[in-house]
Chain A
Amino acid sequence: MIYSILGILIGIFAIILSFLRFKEGKMSGGMLAFWLGVWIIVIWISLYPESTTFLANMIGIGRGLDLALILGLIGCYYLIFKMYTMIENIEIQITKIVREIALQREYSQKEEKEKKSLK
């Protein structure tokens, strides 16, 4: 089957990429473990598509593919939420920097005069 070969190739490729990013220090150990898990599952499912049916039946969903789609969707939502919090954190940090700069560069007539008199 083409899709199983594709799945395995993509999985292996992604795992290599993850390791490279980890080596460069762009990815934390926790994130590496998470992505390794994800891609190993992808390879596993490509090799043994029937195993999803077994899982699906266990949970009560008819077909294995449905289960994969549902999990994928949940995963996407999780990632979106994760990104939202990350962006939010970055915004908070930017605000902190902007505030600190503003506080350090206080301007008042008095201080300006003092500065001029020092010159």
Chain B
Amino acid sequence: MKINIKSLQDIDPSKNRFKNNHKQISRSKNVISHNLGKVDKSFFEGLDLDVYVVVPAYNENKTIKNVLKGLEAKNLPIILVDDGSDDDTYRIVKSFFDKSYPKGYIYRHVLNRGLGASLKTGIEAALRKNPDIIVTFDADGQHDPEDVIKVCTPIMNGEADIVIGKRDFNDMPVTKKLGNYIMNSITWIFYGIHVHDSQSGLRAFNRKAGESLNTKSRGYGISSEIIREIKRNNLKLQQVPIKTIYTEYSLSKGTNTQVGLKILFKMIMDIFR
């Protein structure tokens, strides 16, 4: 794993650039150079930073264990929201946390309420633990755990309140690509802000951004709604390129045309409410 040296210098505490949170990065340079040797495991370890990873999961028994294993290497607290799964997602996560990961928390929706509702639960749970940064991470295995660092870095540098990981659309199959372009346009038309990847599941918020989110959408519409909140709350946005791991499984999930139409309908109805 390669870490951009520049980004490590940027979080040099002597520069004191981490302004957005109550906590300052307090350890000395030694820690950061120590990190360089062991970057893989402990990028965040030397830093006095509380980064919580929120993973919303609904019927993800095939992928969830690998996702958690990948995140385990980052040694960050994981907030897993089981959105009323019918399969054994909850059991898998519970036994994984019990056996090997004391930093895991599970929140279980007794009923399936959708991605938006799960994210909100996760973010609220994270906020109760006084986080510096909240990361949202999909449970279908499409994200690379290394990218957690990429989305956190601009916040650590004080350059952003919210960071969205943009996927490379060229890697996507045509239908997905088209769907995402349409969703970007719809988000732009409705909320007046154009982003490269409005539907991306990998994002990072500082505490201020997390607290200011006021989302109502329960389903996939949440992604566009978060974009709206950026504008409403005047949050600083940065978009960083991230890797996407496409498997047959992760392709079958997420925003397809039907979901897109549903989101559009919801957005129109919300105007009249």
Contact = CB atoms under 8 A, between A and B. Distances in A.
B107 interface: yes
Nearest to A109: B102
A93 to B, nearest CB: 11
Contact of A99 (B97, B105, B117, B216): B117
A103 B113 contact: no
Interface stretch (B5-13, B37-45, B120-128, B181-189): B120-128
Given A84-B269, A107-B94, A102 B108 contact: yes
Given A92-B216, A107-B108, A102 B121 contact: yes
Contact of A106 (B105, B109, B218, B273): B105
Contacts of A110: 102
Nearest to A102: B107
B98 A102 contact: no
B106 interface: yes
Contact of A98 (B94, B110, B273): B110
A106 B106 contact: yes
A47 B84 CA distance: 56
Nearest to B81: A102
B106 A107 contact: yes
A51 interface: no
Contacts of B131: none
Given A94-B113, A95-B113, A103-B107, A109 B98 contact: yes
Interface in A73-119: 81, 84-85, 88, 91-92, 94-95, 98-99, 101-103, 105-110, 112
Contact of A91 (B98, B106, B125, B218): B218
Contacts of A85: 273
B101 A109 contact: yes
Given A84-B269, A108-B97, A109-B97, A103 B124 contact: yes
Interface in B214-259: 216, 218
B269 A108 contact: no
A103 B97 contact: no
A84 to B, nearest CB: 7
Contacts of A88: 269, 273
A117 to B, nearest CB: 15
Nearest to B128: A103
A104 to B, nearest CB: 9
A112 B94 CA distance: 11
Contacts of B97: 107-109
A95 B269 contact: no
Contact of A102 (B110, B269, B272): B110
Interface centre among A91, A92, A102, A106 (most CB of B within 10 A): A102
Nearest to A99: B121
Contacts of A101: 109-110
Interface of A: 81, 84-85, 88, 91-92, 94-95, 98-99, 101-103, 105-110, 112
29 contacts: A81-B272, A84-B269, A85-B273, A88-B269, A88-B273, A91-B218, A92-B216, A94-B113, A95-B117, A98-B109, A99-B113, A99-B120, A101-B109, A102-B81, A102-B107, A102-B110, A102-B121, A103-B107, A103-B125, A105-B107, A105-B108, A106-B125, A107-B105, A107-B106, A107-B108, A109-B97, A109-B104, A110-B102, A112-B98
The 9 closest A-B pairs by CB, nearest first: A102-B107, A107-B106, A108-B105, A99-B121, A109-B102, A95-B117, A98-B109, A95-B113, A98-B111
